[in-house]
A = this chain, B = another copy of it.
């Protein structure tokens, strides 16, 4: 199998869409979540994101990236107006609906209505959860950091509440995402189920490998 080599200049010379596919694929498999928000008029919004990352466990924090020029702009303005949002993991049963939330609907159309996903309100958040989702997180906006390097925005969320199926939570706090039906994505548009190879013990220098 021959190896291809691309330099920075090669990448800059790619066609725009080709480069977007290439660079978005390059980072490996990614998490996938639907962010539910609401504006001050009560209009709901739902948008799919794939840039979530762990930031810390105590306090429980995560980050994700918003591009201000994208359809995510309703998500951004709603989070800033209300201060709360939800993150809902995606399963095989509704990944096509999750993907469809990335279409550029007008602001007065809720992606819940457009896709047929069900908004669920409870006391844990002012924002709607996705009823079809098995793992649901209520979050508050802890910090917004503008990244001058390319105009994107790092949003830091604090985990306010978690809902998950009882049989997916292990005795050590590990959550079995496969059992919960959570899927992964790659690139801009590729969706994947997973199969566990192993959980490995805490690594120590004196411990042999394998």
Give the number of times this chain occurs in the complex, counting copies.
2
**Dominant secondary structure at the A interface:** mixed
A14, CB-defined interface residue at 8 Å: yes
Residues of B within 8 A of A142 (CB): 149
Q: Is the CB of A149 within 8 A of B203?
A: no
B-side contacts of A167, CB under 8 Å? 1
Closest to A51 in B: B53
Which residues of A are in contact with B by a Cβ distance under 8 Å? 1-8, 11-12, 14-33, 50-65, 89, 92, 95-97, 99-106, 109, 114-116, 124, 135, 137, 142-143, 145, 147, 149-150, 152, 154, 156, 158-167, 169-170, 172-175, 177-178, 182-184, 186-187, 189-205, 207, 209-210
**B182 close to A191 (CB less than 8 A):** no
Are B173 and A3 in contact, with the CB atoms below 8 A? no
Chain B nearest Cβ from A184, distance in angstroms: 4
Nearest CB in chain B: distance from A32 CB, A: 6
Our pick among B22, B31, B147, B173 for the contact of A28 (Cβ within 8 Å) is: B31
A143 partner residues in chain B, CB cutoff 8 A: 149
Contact of B55 with A103 in the complex, beta carbons under 8 Å = no
Report the bound CA distance from A103 to B24 in whole Å: 30
